[in-house]
Amino acid sequence: MALLSSTALLEDLSRITPALNVIVDHERLRPFETDAFISHRAMPMCAVLPESEAQVSSILKSCSARGVPVVTRGAGTGISGGAIPRDDGVLVVLTKLNQVKRVDPLARTACVGPGVRNIVVSEAGAPHGLFYAPDPSSQLICSIGGNVAENSGGVHCLKYGLTTHNLMQVRVALSEGEVVVVGSLALDSAGYDLLAVVTGSEGMLGLITEIVVKLQPLPEHVETLLAAFPSVTDAANAVGRIIGGGVIPAALEMMDKMVIEACEKFMAAGFPLDAEALLLIELDGVEEEVAEQLTQVEAVLCDCHAQEIRRAKDDIEREKLWKARKGAFAALATIRPDYYTIDGTIPRRCLPQVLARYEVLAHEYGMLVANVFHAGDGNLHPCIFYDATVPGEMERSEELGGKMLEICVEVGGTITGEHGVGLEKLKQMCIQFRPNEIAAFHAIKAAFDPSGVLNPGKGIPELKRCSEWGGMHVRNGEMPRADIPRF
């Protein structure tokens, strides 16, 4: 962009928000160079921190009129690079829109700004016996706006759903500055389900300025079990049989041997060290109901060769188990300085097969891979360890990760269950989707953002890049045949 017009834009931005909220010097921009996809970074032209929806709207008007790209950022905890700035664009940081505006205990809703942290929503509901269910592992620091942009999941989504299942209404500022209400305070709204499209749209359709979430009653009773298994296959069988038997646990998490050891070393959670796989199972609901399910689950675990079953006696023990699970990623950092986490989802029945193939791949690449994941919904999070100071290791970890995602697509799964595409998985999008499907995504973006200034280059690959990358569509083991009509 020409210097003259960028000066005019900066003047505009300083008129729209207090000048203090417009950051241009490199030192102060440094923290905004990347999100939690730390292997990529870029210095934005400027960062701006609006204090109201009206300011957001004016910023968008000003940028889109000049064709300046806008990247939105919340807490910057996204791990697919969706909030990484562009050097020719403005970074809009929504952390100042952090008010809990209303909690309506009778209607079981909370109205919050996008910059409110996830955990704060549950804290606001707690005095009324309510909570906000989606709980990504970054819930202490991640923002609700980012959760909506990424359609975040968490450990409880098998039972309580993803972000998309827990929203009522959002206010969205569109690229030309208009603000629309999407969804409603009723259980549905007139017209197309735009709320579903906006949720998980990674900042490419609009900026979310206000969110009304659904709150759920806090469960009356919770039981947390930990079962150790001699093999991953046994643990996977147990998962299938618990669910097939009619119990939907609030959470069902699996960890492999490497994770168990790391957690133990880092936080001494008391996990058995001789097991090959652990299942962390949480049941919640009415006390009598949980008791009934507990008996059923324990029987399945024994039947599936569990070596040891532990039951948290109290909240302190429960918290210890969960702290270990949610802090697993930090624990893993003690193994090797850097790690790269993958987010594919597969049909659960393919679990033993896919994990075995991962092991072979990891061996081929000579890299350590640990698995900690949401077993109930087949969402895998293999962690690839590397040392960024060793030249080429980071690139190799990304290449290995890409191959792991391709396996997910091949068995009928997806390249991302909850982390989003961002910059990270653009190449794999070319594998999961055919050209006319990718074209449909671009058409959806254009329907919301005709000027194309919102987070361009993220989420949906350009078709010509797909052919440059040589990305081939492989789905359910089918051969690639993207250009041939399929009859």
Partner 1 sequence: MDAFIHGLTQQIRQAHDAKTALAIHGGNTKAFYGGPVAGQALDMRPYTGIIDYEPKELVLTARAGTTLAEIETTMAKENQMLPFEPPYFSQGATIGGTVASGLSGPRRPYTGAVRDFVLGARIVNGKGEDLRFGGRVIKNVAGYDVSRLMTGALGTLGVLLDLSFKVLPTPREEMTLRYEMDEATAILRFNEWAGRPLPISATSWHEGVAMLRLSGAIAGVKAARETLGGDPVATAEADQFWCDLRDHRATFFQTAEPLWRLSVPSTTAALQLDLPHWMEWGGALRWVRGSADIKALREKVQAAGGHVTLFRGGDKASGVFHPLPPVLAKIHRNLKAAFDPVNILNPGRMDNF
198-227 positions binding partner 1, by CB under 8 A: 199-201, 205, 217-220
Contact 43, 33 (CB under 8 A): yes
Scanning residues 168 to 187, which ones bind partner 1 (CB under 8 A)? 174, 178, 180-182, 184-187
> Does residue 288 belong to the site contacting partner 1 (CB under 8 A)?
yes
* Phi, psi for 149 (deg, rounded to 5): -60, -30
- For residue 302 the two structure tokens come to 């024994």
**Based on CB atoms, which residue is closest to partner 1, 168 or 263?**
168
Residue (of 13, 44, 61, 218) closest to 130 by Cα position: 218
Nearest-angstrom CA–CA distance, 468 and 427: 10
CB of 416 to partner 1, least distance (A): 5
List 95, 98, 143, 345, residue binding partner 1 (CB under 8 A): 345
> Does residue 463 belong to the site contacting partner 1 (CB under 8 A)?
no
List 120, 138, 433, 458, residue binding partner 1 (CB under 8 A): 433
* Amino acid code (one letter) for 65: A
**Based on CB atoms, which residue is closest to partner 1, 51 or 287?**
287
Scanning residues 305 to 324, which ones bind partner 1 (CB under 8 A)? none
> Does residue 390 belong to the site contacting partner 1 (CB under 8 A)?
no
**Based on CB atoms, which residue is closest to partner 1, 155 or 324?**
155
List 51, 193, 274, 364, residue binding partner 1 (CB under 8 A): 193
> Does residue 479 belong to the site contacting partner 1 (CB under 8 A)?
no
Q: With H, G, I as helix, E, B as strand and everything else as coil, classify residue 287.
A: helix
Neighbours of 313 (CB within 10 A): 9
| DSSP state for residue 69 in the 8-state scheme | -
Scanning residues 245 to 264, which ones bind partner 1 (CB under 8 A)? 246-248
List 244, 366, 470, 477, residue binding partner 1 (CB under 8 A): 244
Nearest-angstrom CA–CA distance, 69 and 88: 7
Nearest-angstrom CA–CA distance, 208 and 212: 11
Scanning residues 31 to 50, which ones bind partner 1 (CB under 8 A)? none
- Of 43-51, 305-313, 372-380, 392-400, which segment contacts partner 1 by CB under 8 A? 372-380
> Does residue 299 belong to the site contacting partner 1 (CB under 8 A)?
no
Q: With H, G, I as helix, E, B as strand and everything else as coil, classify residue 464.
A: helix
**Based on CB atoms, which residue is closest to partner 1, 281 or 460?**
460
C-alpha distances (whole Å) from 350 to each of 77, 357, 410 are 30, 11, 11
> Does residue 430 belong to the site contacting partner 1 (CB under 8 A)?
no
> Does residue 294 belong to the site contacting partner 1 (CB under 8 A)?
no
> Does residue 425 belong to the site contacting partner 1 (CB under 8 A)?
yes
List 72, 151, 209, 455, residue binding partner 1 (CB under 8 A): 151
- Contacts of residue 393, defined as CB under 8 A and 6 or more positions apart, other chains included, come to 338, 386, 387
CB of 269 to partner 1, least distance (A): 26
C-alpha distances (whole Å) from 48 to each of 15, 88, 233, 376 are 12, 14, 50, 40
Contact 229, 304 (CB under 8 A): yes
- Of 138-146, 317-325, 327-335, 426-434, which segment contacts partner 1 by CB under 8 A? 426-434
**Based on CB atoms, which residue is closest to partner 1, 386 or 448?**
448
List 66, 108, 336, 396, residue binding partner 1 (CB under 8 A): 108
- For residue 416 the two structure tokens come to 């991302």
Residue (of 192, 272, 182, 194) closest to 227 by Cα position: 272
Nearest-angstrom CA–CA distance, 278 and 255: 5
> Does residue 452 belong to the site contacting partner 1 (CB under 8 A)?
no
Q: With H, G, I as helix, E, B as strand and everything else as coil, classify residue 356.
A: helix
**Based on CB atoms, which residue is closest to partner 1, 256 or 449?**
449
DSSP string spanning 420-458?
--TTTTHHHHHHHS-HHHHHHHHHHHHHH-TT--BSTTS
> Does residue 164 belong to the site contacting partner 1 (CB under 8 A)?
yes
Nearest-angstrom CA–CA distance, 402 and 210: 35
**Based on CB atoms, which residue is closest to partner 1, 194 or 269?**
194
Residue (of 425, 432, 384, 427) closest to 408 by Cα position: 432
CB of 77 to partner 1, least distance (A): 15
List 140, 196, 267, 368, residue binding partner 1 (CB under 8 A): 196
Nearest-angstrom CA–CA distance, 81 and 50: 22
List 326, 374, 427, 458, residue binding partner 1 (CB under 8 A): 374
Window 401-420: contact mask with partner 1 (x via CB under 8 A) = -----------xxxxxxxxx
**Based on CB atoms, which residue is closest to partner 1, 13 or 36?**
36
> Does residue 157 belong to the site contacting partner 1 (CB under 8 A)?
yes
CB of 109 to partner 1, least distance (A): 8
Q: Answer left, alpha or beta for residue 81, where phi above 0 means left and psi between -120 and 50 means alpha.
A: left
